[in-house]
Amino acid sequence: MATSQPGASKQNGDRFWASGKLLYRPNAGGLVTAVAPVVVVAVHVEPAIFDAYYNGCCNGTFWPLFHSMPDRTIFSADNWKAYQAVNLEFAEKTVNALRRLIETEEENAGTPLVWLHDYHLMLAANTIRNSADDLGLKCKLGFFLHIPFPPWDIFRLFPWADEVLQGMLGCDMVGFHIEDYCLNFVDCCQRRLGCRVDRKGLLVEHGGRTVRVRPLPIGIPYERFVELAKAAPPVITNKDQKTVLGVDRLDYTKGLVHRLKSFEVLLEKHPEHREKVVLMQIAVPSRTDVKEYQDLKEEMDQLVGRINGRFTTPNWSPIKYIYGCVSQDELAAFYREAAVALVTPLRDGMNLVAKEFVACQINTPPGVLIVSPFAGAGEMMHEALICNPYEINEAAEVIHRALTMPEDERTLRMNSLRKREKVHDVDYWMRSFLKGMGTLISEDGDDVLP
Ligand code: ADQ
């Protein structure tokens, strides 16, 4: 999705504007490689509508609400209208692309798959299905939500909840990271729309069809991170100090303020770690147009300043705070050299950082992963130390335990964590989704039924 801005030259992820022309550059990565070749179609949205849609409804409403933070959620009819309009635009562009695809493909090319991603496009499937039916176009529709799906009591706060559910139920299959999110969704369909559901089989009946709901935990391009970790030059030079690492988008769901406070308590309660341990927090700027995010940036700056002011000695500062993006090489080196990774979101769909850290732990003896039970990753990565980020004092004790864990225990835990992520990588995730849709393309290009 992009608005074209003639004359501007702007880099934004994989999109470039140069002299009014919209150019595309594919990102590197397991998912992109796996789904290539993809057809890219631009969707043009007026800047004011885009702002209401993206900053307003997506990031001001769905993001906090789906992370179970209703106090931060803005409910606005205008933003919702913009969300509907943009979803409609996406749906229309998709149907046009489908029509072109079906016209140009051979007769036996199989049924095309439309795979929708994330909370930005929850309404599109229904429109695509209805238009495709009207035009006699056959397609399969799948949806994957990368963030949590909230429990009924939270979801029902959204004034236009019916439409969101109906939009998603336009699909043949809806995927979430973990079973809890699936059950929340099934529950909401039953209670809000009165659908007949099968909670055990994760099925929802709607509009004369049965929609499958599936837990499909996402993975990372594991081998690529291993290779990066092997090749990346060292980043931490002081071998007398241990690094506790945090890597996050600067987002209030990631629990950064709680994390810094826990680290402060650690230094207070366990002074033996002073001058021996550094918290390296890498925070990538995110959604900087939204006020909540500007406020968080300020709070973090102040907190880092206060804690460093309190404990810094001539030879040591307790917190190194990088507000910016680091390269993948550098990131892999930080992951490799950290003694402890702190992945302590207040709520998170999955969290890829936990998985990337584990993949990059190629040195012996390895480090320790600490993960929040409120992240999807905390549900699956059982050998990590589990830490409730809201419990500041307890979290400090968990960090202490990680820093003092014997080598053999660290090795045992890390080996199991690595084994799981190696098998359940991003390709495995994608195959599982396609298999669930009945559209797995084999090496020779044939459709393979599960
Ligand atoms: P995010 O909320 O963005 O993703 P996460 O899963 O942690 O969260 O992914 C962040 C990615 O950004 C990681 O690949 C990480 O390496 C990278 N990154 C973070 N900080 C960086 C920095 N300073 N410099 C460079 N790179 C940085 C959403 C959901 C998650 C879900 C994913 C995938 O919120 O819960 O895991 O989608 O489904």
HSE-CB for 18 with a 13 A CA cutoff? 6
Low-confidence ranges of the chain (pLDDT < 50): 1-18, 28-30, 443-450
Q: Report the pLDDT value the prediction gives residue 62, as an integer from 0 to 100.
A: 98
- Calpha distance 236→104 (Å, rounded): 55
Buried (b) or exposed (e) across 172-192, using 16+ Cβ within 10 A? bbbbbbbeebbbbbbbbbbbb
Give the distance (Å) from ligand 1 centre to CA of residue 61.
20
* Whether the model pTM is above 0.90: yes
pLDDT digits (tens, 9 = 90+) for 317-336: 999 999 999 999 999 999 99
Give residue 107's identity as a one-letter amino acid code.
E
Q: ∠278-280-282 over CA atoms, to 5°?
A: 175
What's residue 391's pLDDT? Answer: 98
Ligand 1 centre and the CA of 248: distance in Å?
A: 6
Q: For residues 30 and 427, is the Cβ–Cβ distance under 8 A?
A: yes
**pLDDT tens per residue, range 228-287:** 999 999 998 788 999 999 999 999 999 999 999 999 999 999 999 999 999 999 999 999
Q: Are 256 and 222 in contact (CB under 8 A)?
A: no
277 φ, ψ (degrees, to nearest 5)? -130, 140
Q: Is residue 426 within 6 Å of ligand 1 at its C-beta?
A: no
Q: How far is the CA of 406 from the centre of ligand 1 (A)?
A: 30
Beta carbon of 339 within 6 Å of any ligand 1 atom: no
Ligand 1 atom closest to the CA of 220, numbered from 1:
14
- CB of 274 closer than 8 Å to CB of 242: no
Residue 343 Cα to ligand 1 midpoint, Å, equals 11
Give kind and range of the element (H or E) at residue 18.
Answer: strand 15-18
Mean pLDDT of the chain: 90
Which residue's entry shows tokens 């705070």?
321
Q: Indicate whether residue 34 lines ligand 1 (CB < 6 A).
A: no
Taking the CB of residue 420, how many other CB atoms lie within 10 A of it?
A: 18
213 and 195 Cβ atoms separated by less than 8 Å = no
How far apart are alpha carbons 367 and 410 in whole angstroms? 6
350 lines ligand 1 (CB under 6 A): yes
Mutate to test the pocket of ligand 1, among 178, 224, 353, 430 (most ligand atoms within 8 A of CB): 353
The vertex-151 CA angle with 146 and 152, nearest 5°, equals 125
In short, whether 371's Cβ falls inside 6 Å of ligand 1 is no
Question: Cα(352) to centroid of ligand 1, in Å?
Answer: 6
Residues in the chain: 450
Nearest to 119 by CA among 194, 53, 39, 170: 53
Of 155, 216, 160, 139, whose CA–CA distance to 190 is shortest?
155
Type of residue found at 445: G
Among 118, 352, 425, the mutation site with the greatest number of ligand 1 atoms within 8 A of its Cβ is: 352
Which residues are known to be catalytic?
146, 348
Cα–Cα dist 387/371, whole Å: 6
Residue 28 Cβ inside 6 Å of ligand 1? The answer reads no
**Residues above pLDDT 70, as percent of the chain:** 88
Ligand 1 pocket check for 351: Cβ under 6 Å: yes
Q: Which helix (H) or strand (E) holds 320?
A: strand 319-323
Pocket test for ligand 1, best of 249, 280, 381 (most atoms within 8 A of CB): 249
Q: What separation in Å is there between the alpha carbon of 244 and the centre of ligand 1? A: 18
- State the pLDDT at residue 41: 85
